[in-house]
Structure 1
Amino acid sequence: MTTDPLAPSPDADLPPGAHLPHHPEFLWRAPEPKKNYDVVIVGGGGHGLATAHYLARNHGITNVAVLERGWLAGGNMARNTTLIRSNYLWDESAGIYEHSLKLWEGLEDELGYPILFSQRGVLNLAHTEQDVRDSIRRVEANRLNGIDAEWLDPKQVAHVCPIVNTSADIRYPVLGATFQPRGGIAKHDYVAWGFARSASDAGIDIIQNCEVTGFVTDVDRVTGVETNLGRIGAGTVALCAAGHTSTLTDQLGFRVPIQSHPLQALVSELLEPIHPTVVMSNAVHVYVSQAHKGELVMGAGVDSYNGYGQRGAFHIIERQMAAAVELFPVFGRARLLRTWGGIVDVTPDASPIVGATPYENLYLNCGWGTGGFKATPGVGWCLAHTVATGTPHAINAPFALDRFVTGRLIDEHGAAAVAH
């Protein structure tokens, strides 16, 4: 396999003296594609790799190919801010994210691979009276769903994260926050490598630099995919291509209700450990955590225009930094190291699409917006079940494509939990 030449050292985020059990180039096989597979997964990011892992682990299906047009996990999986939480408002959303969080809690042992999962807690700040009302409503909804959630007043916020500016005389005064103690972060590259190693060890083929350029169909079935490496036959196809999903479904003659936008993030220079948790603010579109090796990882709001460019507009970053410095004065002199952008796929109700399509043997997984990373093991589990059995898992059944026809939407817009 080949790795991104600009990627950091594989051991860069591990504690001093610790090393990965193997470097990435030795973690999975690099086979030539076979002519036919029982299942073809399009997209070698976190969701595609997790689906492959659970097809093998839960269902014994190993004649599977994961096709990645670039390098493994080089799309959104390498371009997110690694936040993990499950404190969403609606029952359906809470169900799939809590299922995922429970899997995160045992994933390192399951994969036998370090993923640096750190349950340091997630704070969602409230800056207005309406924020407060919405946040308390969400805390109560979380508790009804058995999800750990607390409402903190400003003094309690300062106790959990002393570096947050809780003064009353700033543009965005902190009136309180929700807190999920079980939330946190994980190392995205290691998560992908762990899933890839597990799938490869089970006999699943992971094929990089393999771009799907078309589909072979027979009435209402997809019988294969055309790629730059040739035609590959498929018994079942699962699309896990995130923001590029619509470019694939357009070739099949049906549309999905998603829009793709750049989402920007950045990291600072290395700093001493000072930030104990994850802090988010939907009102000002900034979220901040500190990675294991010391850099601040910060994200912004979604750029308003549609596009597939993996960068965004400077004014978004400028507003993000202004808000971050106000909320965290201690970081006022920190230097910016680098920025990047991912491609988020947003649906009209800010909830994902996971399930059947107009083609009998074609399944869809897209529309996660800014919530894709945290859902990685959960959606892999549910999509694997859907592919293996031909019927949706109870957890992903509400996220069917036809809800946009029936009106059974899961509207996370304005729920103070949509972003990130």
Structure 2
Amino acid sequence: MQVPPFDLTEQLQQLGDDLDTAVLQVLRSGQYIGGATTHTFETSFAAATGSAHAIGCNSGTDALVLALRGLGIGPGDEVITCSFSFFATAEAISAVGATPVFVDVEESSYLIDLDQVEAAITPATKALLPVHLFGRPVDMEQVMAIAAAHGLQVIEDCAQATGASWAGRPVGSWGDAGCFSFFPTKNLGAAGDGGAVTCRDDALAQRVRELAVHGMPRRYLHTNLGYNSRLDALQAAVLNVKLPHLESWVQRRGALAQTYRQQLGGLPNLRLPEAGPAGHSWNQFVVRVPNCPVSQTSCADQCSPAANSADFGLPESCCRDWLKQELQASGVSTIIYYPIPIHRQPAYAELGYGPGSLPITERLTAEVLSLPIFPELRPAQQQRVVEVVQALVKQPLAA
């Protein structure tokens, strides 16, 4: 049995007729940019995220750029975020001319360590950019308290957390802006790239809308240098069909995560992600392999050398890499998020974050492995994952 990390086949079969109808309606309408289909999605998504406004755009990356620009963040400004995330989190900050400032993450949650944030605040700091990584929400009450105490703006990176919530309130509705991705593998995925900015402020919403269309408040009047970043009607049509299923899909992901936690809990040399407070949307189920899965001796005796760790001054990842290879050989595909943290990427070498500067982030990148999880994962497929992992991970966890 082959188990993919993510598969849309069954979802497309279930929704196929509705998707075909929605897409054909757009094709036959001739209105491919903007229009009623896009407006319907933006209105529905705003309601789903508890926001006054949702502005569709080309991608989750563009959503971050548009939100930062809309909030007036630019050259000379600093934005505090975490390095354990997809590159776009920091790339968007740099794209508007600002400087990303990285703090470490919590070992237990993988999320930005809010206790370190205040120490990183300087007179140049203008915003906090927390990442709801893997679908687990950051403590937004603490984030907003820090922001209020220092007069900072808050942009939530919700790319992996559509459908997640903190304290019963959807992510994307806490900060000044929320930024979402509709990449096909997300909890709510389009048929290509897509994104959205959510916010409660009318003026900010208008600025973001204008920036997404060449800085144009009305046709052929350009008051800012903007972008061509619009959510096209075909993608909106797909999202309109899928949005009503989001809640049930998130619930299914939660059930799959619970099964993994029950059946893999207590396994030696494997650390499971915390369930955390209610509101996790489980876009990924990311385990850690901190020690050799098959031996109490050094992993060099059992595992293949890591390919890239030494090149980037990172901890050795051969134990995790060995487990990934063995799972693949048994038909179970997994994904590593993320093998090289942002602060150690060559593109950010000039920022001066050397090896060991963010020790927890660097350790996690050498240990994390994402097991298959998606709403249509069949019980037999998940059981196969469990059985293979159980067979591979045998020895007591080293202290």
State the TM-score bracket (shorter-chain normalisation): under 0.3
Q: TM-score, normalised by structure 2?
A: 0.26
Question: Larger strand proportion, structure 1 or 2?
Answer: 1
Question: Larger helix proportion, structure 1 or 2?
Answer: 2
Q: TM-score, normalised by structure 1?
A: 0.25
